[in-house]
Amino acid sequence: MRVGRIGYINCAPIYGAIDREIVPAPGELVTGTPAELNDLLVAGELDVSVISAVEYARHARDLVLLPDIAISCDGPVRSVALFSRRTVDQLDGRTVLLSASSRTSVALLELLCREVWKVKPKFAEARAEAQDLETLAALPHEAVLVIGDAALTLAARGTYPHRYDLGAEWKTWTGLPFVFAVWAARRSADRDAVRRGHAALLVSRAWGLAHLDELAADAARATGVPLGACREYLGGLDYAFTYKHLAGLTDFFRRLAADGIVPDGSLQFLQVA
């Protein structure tokens, strides 16, 4: 199998044991941004991958969810944030740059602007990669949506006077967790191989969650983000997919379906028994 993985440190608790060969790899690992992996899985170039929640919903007829595993938060996520030179209520008509790397984060920001903050910014997709903070800073804008390791780096710099954590904003609005990404398989993929891969990911996750200090130290060395911030970040993420997470994801999809962004439909999980 070809298995997709995000190159950001948020996937370290899932793949850390696989990287260390403590758990056998479930297949050939393909690293990319969330948007790249979305496109590869939808195109059939990957058999299994972590995928943006929105892209799963858009292509649910071709995909099946892996149970018990996701990237989510029940409050602050820390790595998905709107950095702004103004307070959000002053962004009406102002330029907000959007990362091309995470479609779920963009959809969530658009919902918050419309339904919670009651503003209509001028959204513009940033052509620069989300990690290229210097290039992003040179583009004309009042606020910018930044995700992944770059969001942790930018928060540490304190460049923008205002920072809005999208996970925290969703929690305040709905009282529910937010699921940013899920793991899914092509419906055409070999089911037995997918089940074995799913089992390997769960075993690797168990090791990762038991070794967050080690993973945080690796993340700090790789990104330059302070060790304490990396440890707080990894410890604050939730990699489970329980009924509570399902309720949050269903609410998000319901709101998007009302706007015609994703189709109506139920979530279908891989049968692992």
pLDDT reading at 242 higher than 70: yes
Res 127: pLDDT:
64
* Encoded tokens for 137: 């800073």
Considering the segment(s) 80-174 as one domain, its CATH architecture is 3-Layer(aba) Sandwich (3.40)
Confirm if 156 and 226 have CB atoms less than 8 A apart.
Answer: yes
Mean pLDDT of 215-225: 94
pTM above 0.75? yes
Q: Is there a common fold for 2-72+177-258 and 80-174? A: yes
The sign of the dihedral angle between the CA atoms of 183, 188, 192, 197 is negative
Q: How confident is the model at residue 52 (pLDDT cuts 50, 70, 90)?
A: very high
Mean pLDDT of 57-82: 94
Render pLDDT for 128-160 as a digit per residue (tens, 0 to 9): 554 577 677 777 899 999 988 888 888 878 889
Residues in the chain: 273
Res 130: pLDDT:
47
Render pLDDT for 246-264 as a digit per residue (tens, 0 to 9): 999 999 999 999 888 888 7
Average pLDDT over the chain, rounded to an integer: 91
Domain boundaries, the chain: 2-72+177-258, 80-174
Give the percent of the chain with pLDDT over 70.
95
28 φ/ψ angles, rounded to the nearest 5 degrees: -75, 120
* Encoded tokens for 19: 């990287």
Domain 2-72+177-258 has CATH 1.10.1740.10: no
